[in-house]
Each structure stands twice: as structure tokens, then as C-alpha cells.
Amino acid sequence: GFFSNSNEYLGSAMIDLHDLITGDILSDWFELRFDPKFGKDVEQITGRIYVEVEYEGAVGMAPMTPGTGSVRSPSRGKSEVGARSVEVTVLKAEGIVAKDRGGTSDPFCELVLGNHRKKTKVIAKSLTPEWNETFILDFEGGRDSVLSVVIYDHDRSLLGGSSAEFLGSCDIALDPMGVDDPVRQWYKLVWDEKFSKAKEKVTGRVLIRTLVRPLTVSVQLDISKIPRAPRDVNKAV
């Protein structure tokens, strides 16, 4: 009736997110249609809805914030399960081992997370390299949620080839980290048999900034073509 608080179905749209990869932005208009899951009676449906999706690793659909046109992200600082993404900034290192005859190294950093690998640029002749490079990687919970930060010395051979000598690594557990809660921390470099068969002398530390992110969705509704529900004059007072 006129004074009731019931909701009247105006239409819905289905959006396939399966083909999106991290960093993709989907923005488009979608026609509103009748869906028996949301409307009991077949009604006349017109209009469309504009949806913008920025994909940063799916964690499932979050609740709709009352009174807004956006889907609420999980609470800041609360750890989540499932697929997510992490923004990793490799800032700098200090005190690393000198591998070259001149008493320096040519260090670069490799990030290893599940099947994902990312490398920074090589900093020539430095034991205190500064990279300031940012990468985004997807991850699942459990075993695949441990980020390995590995530093190598880049060597060029006289024949034009190259090789890498292990300088140290650290592991960072991502599962305990809260969503949208950045962590900037120094990590001690250690020897790890996963990355170096022979046990090497390792010194120094590396500064890493991590930021775990969920899927974010924003929605805008074009109401210009959506008909208003007819007023029931018989029940109006």
C-alpha cells in the first residue's frame, strides 16, 4: 500500500566476472531484466544500471551498505579468507653481502607467491640498494599465502650471459594481515634452501610494504528510465 515499507522489484542484471584478471576495470551499462529469483510475478521491466568493477582478487560478495550505491568492502584491519591480492612495494635493503671483487654487489629482488614471480631492476655496485618498485600479486589462503622475498646478485659473464648468486631471503605470512591495512616493516635476510642449494653467508635486511586488498565494486543507478510504481489511490488516505 501507499504507507507500507515493502520493496517493489524493478529489475536486475547478471554480470560475469570470471574472465577478469587482477587490475582489470569493467565499466558498462547493463539492461535490467526480470529474474524469478528476485521477483515473484513477471512484471514489465525497463531501464538499465551502470556498474563499475575494479578487480583486485575475489573474496566473495560483501554486504551492501544501507543507503548507498556501493558494495561495502570488508572491515579495515580484519583478516579475510579466500582469494585476494596483495600490493607489495620493495623499498630498499641494507647490509647485504658483497659478492663482487670490488667489495659490492649488483642486487635485484624477486618476489615469489604461489606460482607468481616478479623481479625488480638491478641496482649496480651497491650494498644499500633502493628499488621503490610496486607489484600486485593474487593469492589464496593457506600454503600459497606466504610471500618470499629473495635477493640475488646479478652477474654478467664475458660471453654475454648472466647468472644470479643468492644474497638472502625472508618469508612474509599474508593470511594474518588485515584488509586495507598497510604494513611497512624491516625483515632480516636469512639462508633458505629453497633458493640456494649451498649454505651461504647471509647478512642484512630488507624493507617491504604490503597491502592486502579485496574485490571492490561500485554501482551507479540510472533511474531516468525506470518507471515509478503506480500509486494505489484506493488505499491512499
Q: Mean pLDDT in the chain?
A: 77
How would you class 137 by CB atoms within 10 Å of its CB: exposed for 0-12, middle for 13-18, buried for 19 or more? buried
What distance in Å separates the CA atoms of residue 188 and residue 171, rounded to the nearest whole number? 10
d(C-alpha 151, C-alpha 168), whole Å: 6
Contacts of 82 by beta carbon, 8 Å cutoff, 6+ apart? 58, 59, 60, 140, 141
Are the beta carbons of 58 and 83 closer than 8 angstroms? yes
pLDDT score, position 65: 37
Query: Are the beta carbons of 230 and 55 closer than 8 angstroms?
Result: no
Q: What is the pLDDT of residues 83-134, one digit of tens each?
A: 788 999 999 999 999 998 889 999 999 999 998 999 999 999 999 999 999 9
| Structure-block grid coordinates of residue 84 | 585476494
What three-state secondary structure class fits 86? Answer: strand
Predicted model pTM: 0.59
Q: Taking CA 124 as the corner, what is the angle to CA 118 and CA 129, rounded to the nearest 5 degrees?
A: 65
pLDDT higher than 80, residue 70: no
Burial class (CB in 10 A: 0-12, 13-18, 19+), 41: exposed
DSSP state of 22: T
Burial classification of residue 194, based on how many CB atoms lie within 10 Å of its CB (0-12 exposed, 13-18 middle, 19 or more buried): exposed
Residue 75 confidence (pLDDT) above 80: no
Query: What are the tens digits of pLDDT across the range 197-236?
Result: 888 899 999 999 999 987 444 445 555 555 555 555 555 5
**What angle (nearest 5°) sits at the alpha carbon of residue 39, between those of residues 38 and 40?**
125
